[in-house]
Amino acid sequence: MKRVCVFCGSSSGNGDVYLQSAKDLGKELAAQGIELVYGGASIGTMGAIADSVLANGGRVIGVIPKGIAELEVAHTGLTQLEVVADMHERKARMMSLSDAFIALPGGLGTLEELFEVLTWLQLRFHSKPCGVLNVANYYDDLLSFLKHSSSHHQRLESG
């Protein structure tokens, strides 16, 4: 069975569109028989996608650092919940469990996770697909910056 890691926020963001996109993605993952791997929280878009996968008959693996679990935000109804020592172990574990990565709109933690898997892809530490779900044009400026950065980096290397 395939597993997709979804990076998303512990908050719901501004507007229902982000929560709805998490629910819709969760429903589609379950319909396709794809397991969800995510950060293990019961709140925000993290909780929404996990609840949606579960409500639609899918399987969910959460990976949460002990310090965050102790704040009573760990999702207790998952197929599997792994409590790890810290954020570094969380990212490494989610990477090892997953066949692909999707970033929903989120904050700095979501971006940090996305950039780490993209960096590992660039360094050829893995060859797993990575992408963003650009809900309501959330990632337009980031995608523009990445194109800009890539074009300048290529010029530096060839110059």
Instruction: Tally Cβ neighbours within 10 Å of residue 117.
Output: 23
Measured in whole angstroms, how far is the alpha carbon of residue 122 from the centre of its chain?
18
From the list 102, 159, 156, the residue with the least C-alpha distance to 134 is: 102
From the list 142, 134, 29, 15, the residue with the least C-alpha distance to 79 is: 29
Q: What's the pTM?
A: 0.92
* Mean pLDDT, residues 125-150 taken together: 94
State the pLDDT confidence band at 157, using cuts at 50, 70 and 90.
low
* Mean pLDDT, residues 132-155 taken together: 88
Is residue 20 within 8 A of residue 46, CB to CB? The reply is no
Which domains are seen in the chain, by residue range? 3-158 (3.40.50.450)
CA atoms of 129 and 117, how far apart (whole Å): 10
From the list 98, 45, 94, 90, the residue with the least C-alpha distance to 69 is: 90
Q: Pick the residue with more confidence: 28 or 148?
A: 28
Buried b (16+ CB within 10 A) or exposed e, 87-100: beebbebbbeebeb
Contacts of 1 (CB under 8 A, 6+ apart): 33, 34, 35, 59
CA dihedral over 63, 68, 70, 71, signed as positive or negative: negative
**Tens of pLDDT, residues 42-96:** 999 999 999 999 999 999 999 999 999 988 899 999 999 999 999 999 999 999 9
Percent residues over pLDDT 90 in the chain:
84
Amino acid at 63: V
Is residue 81 within 8 A of residue 40, CB to CB? The reply is yes
State the pLDDT confidence band at 14, using cuts at 50, 70 and 90.
confident
* Mean pLDDT, residues 103-109 taken together: 95
At residue 155, the pLDDT reads 53
